[in-house]
Structure 1
Amino acid sequence: MLAVVVVLILAAGLSDAVILSKCELKQQLETGLNLTLPNYTDVLAQIVCHAQLSSGFNTNTIKTIPEPKEPNSGHGSRHRRSPGGKGNGRPSSKVTPPPHDSSEENEVWTLYGLFQLSDHVVCSSTQSKALNLCGLTCNKLIDDDTSDDIKCVQTLINAVTAPIPDPKTAKHINEMLVLIHQPECITVKATSYFANC
């Protein structure tokens, strides 16, 4: 009887999670994004590659990491995430924190959903002061509806490609991009990456 109760609790905790395939996410992004960038199909492949490596295409992924630093800030480079588990039945990873600097305390950032978007930049949570660029509560990024996640990615693309981005917004977006940057995805080409779609 106890085993049945445990299985029901675990199933309820994971019920909102959806794990997409590469081809499903590609199709959803093609429908939901308005990419006017040169080589937009390769950019699309890079976005899907990022989702694959950072969340495993799982819409319910939550990770916590130390606050990232912009590459030119002189505070170190991106640290590699390693798999692990933490709370709420959701996958989680931690980053090895940078060496302790007593002059500056790092905040913790929480990354949400399919694209691992930060609570300090795109959504609001009770745990952080947020820019809330996408005007969402962070829980909207971990449900099975990917349309708001995709709209948020579009908002980020628009903010980054704006002729004169707001300096504060640009700083936070750049910090988040450093954080989620997947070097393996930079050279991805749509023709080979989406060959099976």
Structure 2
Amino acid sequence: MSIHPGMKMLAAVVVLFLAVGMSDSVILNKCELKQQLQTGLTLPPNMTDVLAQIVCHVQLTSNFNTSAIKTITESKNSGESHGPRKGRSAKSQGKNKGRPSSKVTSPPHLESAEDKNEVWTLYGLFQLSDHVVCNSTQSHSLNLCGLTCNKLLDDNISDDLACVQVLINKMTAVIPDPKTAKHIRKMISLIYQPECVNAKASTYFADCP
């Protein structure tokens, strides 16, 4: 059975589209990320183990996938994170980038005070929040890094590194607005995973050249 030339062309276009889409997602390893952090970040002298702590965070949350996306629920009252909410595994992040799964919410008149929590979508290698560092269509954002959130999902991590640098700088800055300060503290607390607090560069990167 012969195949119509138009079908061949359509198949070729689909294959090309898939190849381009897949090329946007990269899986790094901790040694590669360490190298990029060393050249892309400026850290105070007393923060020698911060690189290990940041890379440990990346390993636990995005598994070094530059296109990882997940959602968490943040309590407006306590600032607690209530864990992943319909998040996608890192292996499937190359699909539907920048389009978080739809969320079903109750009508406003049926919501109680406890129900009115914030749903944060976390983007990319460092799992940065759309409420704090970047702008998405899903939420109002401080947009500290002046980015659309899709910029945190490609294989170019230079803007991701610049955004992490902004957060590091904010750690020592005076922030007069309480709401802004609260959101920044939440974002920084997500980067400093409890499991990574005691990570030491000398041991965590022991197998790196």
Does residue 134 (structure 1) correspond to residue 145 (structure 2)? The answer is: yes
Cα distance between partner residues in 2 of 1:78 and 1:130: 18
Cα distance between partner residues in 1 of 2:60 and 2:159: 20
Kept in 2, the 8 Å contact 1:78–1:178? The answer is no
Cα distance between partner residues in 1 of 2:150 and 2:157: 12
Cα distance between partner residues in 2 of 1:13 and 1:171: 36
Cα distance between partner residues in 2 of 1:87 and 1:117: 15
Does residue 89 (structure 1) correspond to residue 95 (structure 2)? The answer is: yes
The alpha-carbon deviation at position 158 of structure 1 amounts to 0.6
Identity among equivalent positions (%) equals 62
Runs (5+) with no aligned partner, structure 2: 1-7, 102-110
Alignment CA distance shift 1:87-1:32 (3 Å): closer
Kept in 2, the 8 Å contact 1:120–1:131? The answer is yes
Cα distance between partner residues in 1 of 2:201 and 2:192: 18
Does residue 106 (structure 1) correspond to residue 117 (structure 2)? The answer is: yes
Range with bigger deviation, 113-122 or 29-38: 29-38
Q: Which amino acid aligns with 1:23?
A: C
Range with bigger deviation, 3-12 or 130-139: 3-12
User: Normalising by the residue count of structure 1, what TM-score does the alignment of the two structures yield?
Assistant: 0.79
Q: Is the partner of 1:41 in helix, strand or coil?
A: coil
The alpha-carbon deviation at position 12 of structure 1 amounts to 4.3
2:155 corresponds to: 144
2:82 corresponds to: 79
Q: Is the partner of 1:79 in helix, strand or coil?
A: strand
Q: Is the partner of 1:65 in helix, strand or coil?
A: strand
The alpha-carbon deviation at position 108 of structure 1 amounts to 1.9
Cα distance between partner residues in 2 of 1:120 and 1:78: 14
**CA RMSD of superposed structures (Å):** 3.1
Cα distance between partner residues in 2 of 1:153 and 1:180: 9
1:22 corresponds to: 30
Q: Is the partner of 2:71 in helix, strand or coil?
A: strand
Cα distance between partner residues in 1 of 2:122 and 2:27: 17
The alpha-carbon deviation at position 14 of structure 1 amounts to 2.6
Kept in 2, the 8 Å contact 1:55–1:115? The answer is yes
Q: How many residues align?
A: 186
* CA deviation map 1:129-166 (0-9, x unaligned): 1100001111111111111100100000111211x223
**Matching of residues 113-124 of structure 1 within 5 Å:** 113-124=124-135
Cα distance between partner residues in 1 of 2:93 and 2:27: 19
The alpha-carbon deviation at position 11 of structure 1 amounts to 4.4
Kept in 2, the 8 Å contact 1:14–1:90? The answer is no
Q: Is the partner of 1:144 in helix, strand or coil?
A: coil
Match of 1:32 among 29, 40, 45: 40
The alpha-carbon deviation at position 90 of structure 1 amounts to 6.3
Range with bigger deviation, 132-141 or 167-176: 167-176
Kept in 2, the 8 Å contact 1:112–1:118? The answer is yes
Q: Is the partner of 2:121 in helix, strand or coil?
A: strand
Cα distance between partner residues in 1 of 2:15 and 2:60: 28
Q: Which has the larger radius of gyration?
A: 2
User: Normalising by the residue count of structure 2, what TM-score does the alignment of the two structures yield?
Assistant: 0.75
